[in-house]
Chains A and B, each alone.
Chain A
Amino acid sequence: MKLRQLFLAALCCALLPAQTPDADAMKAAIQAAQSAGDNAWMLVSAALVLMMTGPGLALFYGGLVRRKNVLNIMVQSFAMQAVITVLWAVIGYSLAFGEACPYMGGFQYIFLNGVGTAPNGDYAATIPQLTFMVYQMMFAIITPALITGAYAERVKFTAMLLFSVLWTLIVYIPLAHMIWGKGGLLNAYLGGKIPVFDFAGGTVVHISSGVSALVCALYLGKRVGYPDQTRPHSLVLCFIGACMLWVGWFGFNAGSALAASGLASSAFVNTHLASATGAIGWAVAEWYRNGRPSVLGIVSGSVAGLATITQSSGFVQPQAAMLIGLTAGIVCYYMVAKVKDKFGYDDSLDAFGVHGVGGTMGCLFTGVFATNKINDALKVNGVPAPLGWVDGNSGQIFNQAIGAAIGIGLAIVGTYLILKLCDILVGLRVEQHQEISGLDVSLHGEEGYNLES
């Protein structure tokens, strides 16, 4: 027996060194498999977020304007897909996700220098940095596209382009860097002073665009014929656009897990639930007040739910997500139907009422409902840190409020200054006769519907 044990021990010793390379190879294979899975999901997510802008947002907004302006509002979204893409590749990505100071990134990734297939471990360790870069690019595209709803049917195309480029540089990128960039002031994970949780851009995308939209609406003034002659021309287009936004939002929120992980599933489910309860909330509020549930109300409620859940989508339990969506539907309905009328501003397609209000609510809700039962990425001494009020960290509501306030402040000041500059350089509004004949004919020389041809 003894001899046999000795023999086995010797055999093991002889085999062990040979096992080590096998284990390494297996580890590498596992990593490669995970990377392949994550990258596949993230590329799909990036494509989904692009689909939110065109055709999603373009159709949603396109249906809400009058027939004579349908092409103009649609091409504004598409123009963002072209212009912001180039801006992001040239300098935007570097300024948002490079490392420099708490308010703005540096120049190390300028012209996508050094952005290749190797992952950037600070942001997403399992996917190529190129994937991360292009995913973030889609967010930078949709955000100024959301604002176009505020100055719809009356802004010059040149002014819109200049405004969008400057706005991305001056408002969006600093905010994205502060909240998501390494060393950003509000980054909860990568060395920020004030930890703000923003999973998928409730503050970066929705507060920033929504509040800026309000500033634009106030600065530009009302459309000719507002409010009596501004009836939406096609709720069918709106409806299709809203359906695409709902689907695209899975890429927006679940993709923000930056991996095909359990957290992505959590964000996916939360997103879906909030959209559903948002639609119900708006419809019930409208049914109660008007006696009829409108189609536009139901789909707007879903968008309100989606905008509001964005910030907390990867932090909260599904029950909280349902509550957040329901509240969003009801509150946004009252903002759009009552408050807007009271103040009389022409936020033409309700970018503020839905995205600004929903985004701000969502930011605060995150402070209440964020829990490490869903997202344990933030660790203190190796233990998951308490996140929101439900984890006993009531101070987080205050942090979130600071985040929202910085977003709102930057949006107001930045947008006002940019509008002023654009007004001086190119002028903001089209001539009144152009507005009356419609921007499709007067700015583009085309019509959306040539029914006689």
Chain B
Amino acid sequence: MKKIEAIIQPFKLEEVKEALKAIGVDGMTVTEVRGHGRQKGHKEVYRGREYQVDLLPKVKLELVVSDGRKDEVVKAVVQSARTGKIGDGKIFIYNVEESIRIRNDERGDSAL
């Protein structure tokens, strides 16, 4: 099993969700996060005073899939989240040791 963690632009969330739904992925966890990579922040001005805002709002998408589905899921996220500009985000992939469905103690791929 693989955990796919994608940090994307907030306004791309709907498209990514649609793309994942289209390939049959039906579970995910979404968190509103803040951060920056190379994009850096922007400036805000309040009553003439400038504030450098380094951490920008992003959305973190986490999903765990079976090993065989990893590539198509990553492809779907990349295609739907990409604008081609700085700030599109990143994807990280982790190995997952086990997954357990709390309701009935089911384990492994069938618990996903």
Q: B47 on the interface (CB 8 Å rule)?
A: yes
How many chain B residues touch A (CB < 8 A): the figure is 9
Closest to A228 in B: B51
Give bound CA distance, A282 to B48, whole Å: 11
Q: B11 on the interface (CB 8 Å rule)?
A: no
Q: Which residues of chain A have C-beta atoms less than 8 A from B94's C-beta?
A: none
Whether the Cβ atoms of B49 and A296 lie closer than 8 Å is: no
Q: A420 on the interface (CB 8 Å rule)?
A: no
Closest to A337 in B: B48
A232: which of B46, B52, B53 is its contact (CB, 8 Å)? B46
Whether the Cβ atoms of B47 and A300 lie closer than 8 Å is: yes
Q: How far is the CB of A272 from chain B (nearest CB, A)?
A: 24
Q: How far is the CB of B50 from chain A (nearest CB, A)?
A: 9
Q: How far is the CB of A213 from chain B (nearest CB, A)?
A: 15
Per DSSP, chain B at the interface is: strand
Q: How far is the CB of B32 from chain A (nearest CB, A)?
A: 11
Q: How far is the CB of B3 from chain A (nearest CB, A)?
A: 25
Per DSSP, chain A at the interface is: helix
Whether the Cβ atoms of B45 and A294 lie closer than 8 Å is: yes
Give bound CA distance, A231 to B52, whole Å: 10
Q: How far is the CB of B54 from chain A (nearest CB, A)?
A: 11
Give bound CA distance, A290 to B50, whole Å: 10
Q: Which residues of chain A have C-beta atoms less than 8 A from B48's C-beta?
A: 286, 289-290, 333, 336-338, 341
Q: B71 on the interface (CB 8 Å rule)?
A: no
Within 8 A of A (CB), among B43-70: 44-49, 51-53
Whether the Cβ atoms of A296 and B47 lie closer than 8 Å is: yes
Q: Beta-carbon contacts of A287-299 to B below 8 Å, as 1s and 0s? A: 0011010101100
Give bound CA distance, A289 to B47, whole Å: 12
Q: A227 on the interface (CB 8 Å rule)?
A: yes
Whether the Cβ atoms of B51 and A296 lie closer than 8 Å is: no
Q: A38 on the interface (CB 8 Å rule)?
A: no
Q: A350 on the interface (CB 8 Å rule)?
A: yes
How many chain A residues touch B (CB < 8 A): the figure is 18
Closest to B48 in A: A337
Whether the Cβ atoms of A337 and B47 lie closer than 8 Å is: yes
Whether the Cβ atoms of A336 and B45 lie closer than 8 Å is: no
Q: Which residues of chain A have C-beta atoms less than 8 A from B45's C-beta?
A: 290, 292, 294
Q: Which residues of chain B have C-beta atoms less than 8 A from A336's C-beta?
A: 47-48
Q: Which residues of chain A have C-beta atoms less than 8 A from B44's C-beta?
A: 231
Q: Which residues of chain B have C-beta atoms less than 8 A from A286's C-beta?
A: 48
Q: Beta-carbon contacts of A322-345 to B below 8 Å, as 1s and 0s? A: 000000000001001110010000
Give bound CA distance, A365 to B51, whole Å: 35
Give bound CA distance, A300 to B49, whole Å: 14
Whether the Cβ atoms of A341 and B49 lie closer than 8 Å is: yes
Q: Which residues of chain A have C-beta atoms less than 8 A from B46's C-beta?
A: 231-232, 294, 296
Q: Beta-carbon contacts of B26-53 to A below 8 Å, as 1s and 0s? A: 0000000000000000001111110111
Give bound CA distance, A278 to B46, whole Å: 17
Closest to A334 in B: B48
Q: Which residues of chain B have C-beta atoms less than 8 A from A227's C-beta?
A: 49
Q: How far is the CB of B57 from chain A (nearest CB, A)?
A: 14
Whether the Cβ atoms of A350 and B47 lie closer than 8 Å is: yes
Q: Which residues of chain B have C-beta atoms less than 8 A from A228's C-beta?
A: 51-52
Give 18 CB contacts A-B under 8 Å: A228-B51, A228-B52, A231-B44, A231-B46, A231-B51, A286-B48, A290-B48, A294-B45, A296-B46, A296-B47, A297-B47, A300-B47, A333-B48, A336-B48, A337-B47, A337-B49, A338-B48, A341-B48
Q: Which residues of A does B touch, CB under 8 Å?
A: 227-228, 231-232, 286, 289-290, 292, 294, 296-297, 300, 333, 336-338, 341, 350
